[in-house]
Amino acid sequence: MSSAEDSSAPARFATERNPALRFIIPVIVAVAFFMEQLDSTIIVTAVPDIARSLGTTPLHMNLAITTYILTLAMFIPVSGWFADRFGARRIFALSLFIFTAGSILCGMAQSFPMMIATRALQGFGGAMMTPVGRLILIRSFPRSQLVTAMTYMTLPSIVGPVIGPLLGGFLTTYLSWRWIFWVNLPFGVAGMIAALRYVEDTDRDPTVKFDFPGFLMVGLGCMLLEYGIENVGRPTIPAPAIVAVLVLACLLLAGFGFYARHAEFPAVDLTLFKLRTFRIGTLAGGICRMGMNGVPFLLPLMLQVGFGMSPIVSGSLTFVSSISALFIRPIYSWALRLFGFDRVLIWSAVVGSALVGGFALIGPETPRWFIMLYVLLFGLARSTQFMTSNTLSYSDTPAAKLSRATSLGGVLQQLSVSFGISVAAMLLGLTAADGLTITAEEFHIVFLMMAVIPLLGIPGFLFLRPEDGVQVSGHQRRRD
């Protein structure tokens, strides 16, 4: 069967017909991913300057951050329908245009309401851009080359959140906060032109109907769940209201679960969870990501608040984790071939957990070269876990369900990031003696608690079989 698929691959995949596209298409998609991930965090260091310029307070500026994330959460679930209905290339180019236009308007904002509206426009573009870009990548490569494709896809999601605060601080300090948005313009224009030139369009299916009731249930459910999670770690509403938001979110999502059983074209295809590799890659992998995603939030805070380092020094130390992601691909491909998905996922979870806990051993007197080396090692473990679980999720997904799978996978990935940050923030708030002053020792306690979370994904990985994803990994388990 695999040989038959291989023989038909040159006729089916763009990268087989034109080898140059093996580099061009991943770069196009990676640029879009990088912009989306960068804009999730780049605004953080510019919040005081933006607040002064727009006549508001830094506390209120939190709404500009959450608006972007909430819009992502609401519209990612239906991105697959747009790709199926109008074609992936067309939607990808349109989403780049919307995101870039939103970025320009954010930089031109003269009032706080305008900033909120333009951030929502950015989020809508990003919600379409990343899942459809992921779909284009998966459909452009044969399964045997999916590891390479997914590596290019995952790298921006690792590098973006790390480089965001550093780049945001630099642009705000030496130019203006408006440049943290305008910097997207050349990338967006180049991405649109390249996508229309090099990306092949997918077949459009006009018979697929838009599930508006399902969209409202799952979109509002995801948005409210995201909002509730954000408020657990960084509350802007009273505790009873947070509980009410989370309960309503769960009711909407549960209601959609019942509704989707009878819908002809549900907004989100929950039957994907019947596929073992997708279920384990998104759910068990999401648990591991949640534990490791707390580190990019906690570490800069510990270095600055706990150790008294400057933002630029802290940023330069944490930035090295993104460097490790650039060198992981050859090691990662070799590890998958040699050990298979199950062993790589289990051991990267164990090593990642140990490294998260190891941050509790770092103190103000620890040499900076050692901190950089340690962060580099953590970046290797984090990159390996993220890439492997992402690749596993789509390794055995039928081609007809790829657009739905990328939409649902995008939602779960976004939630795992928010859960990780919110859980870390919540633990930090609970650990602080007076809820305000945080010492280095209290950061250490939170790191130890966060280290437990990646281990919770291991039971899920144990359900993997040696044959899962072999077309992608190339792994052949020896039998005694």
Burial status of residue 97 (CB atoms within 10 A of its CB: 0-12, 13-18, 19 or more):
middle
Given this model, what pLDDT does residue 436 score? 55
How many whole angstroms separate alpha carbon 62 and alpha carbon 349? 32
Extract the residue ranges of the chain whose pLDDT is less than 70.
1-12, 15, 40-41, 44-48, 57-62, 144, 146-166, 169, 202-207, 233-234, 311-312, 315, 322, 325-326, 329, 433-437, 477-480
Residue 156 sits in the same domain as residue 296 = no
Residue 129 sits in the same domain as residue 143 = yes
Residue 280 sits in the same domain as residue 375 = yes
| pLDDT single digits (tens) 409-421 | 877 877 787 778 7
Out of 223, 240, 264, pick the residue that ends a domain: 264
Closest CA to 136 of 199, 189, 66: 199
| Domain count along the chain | 3
Given this model, what pLDDT does residue 62 score? 64
| pLDDT single digits (tens) 92-123 | 999 999 999 999 999 898 888 898 899 989 98
Residue 347 sits in the same domain as residue 452 = yes
How many whole angstroms separate alpha carbon 480 and alpha carbon 238? 60
The domain of 426 spans 271-480
Given this model, what pLDDT does residue 6 score? 44
Tell me, what CATH number does 51's domain have?
Answer: 1.20.1250.20
Entry field: residues in the chain: 480
Question: What type of residue is 31?
Answer: V
Residue 125 sits in the same domain as residue 260 = no
Residue 283 sits in the same domain as residue 423 = yes
Residue 32 sits in the same domain as residue 156 = yes
Given this model, what pLDDT does residue 472 score? 74
Out of 189, 206, 223, pick the residue that ends a domain: 206
Given this model, what pLDDT does residue 159 score? 63
Given this model, what pLDDT does residue 285 score? 92
To 5 degrees, how large is the angle CA 139–CA 68–CA 417?
65
Residue 55 sits in the same domain as residue 134 = yes
Residue 113 sits in the same domain as residue 63 = yes
Residue 101 sits in the same domain as residue 178 = yes
Given this model, what pLDDT does residue 476 score? 72
Out of 206, 225, 243, pick the residue that ends a domain: 206
Q: To the nearest whole number, what is the mean pLDDT of the chain?
A: 80
Residue 380 sits in the same domain as residue 464 = yes
Q: Which residues are CB-contacts of 415 (< 8 A; sequence separation ≥ 6)?
A: 73, 222, 225, 226, 229, 286
> Would you say 422 and 230 are in contact if contact means Cβ atoms under 8 Å apart?
yes
Residue 374 sits in the same domain as residue 435 = yes
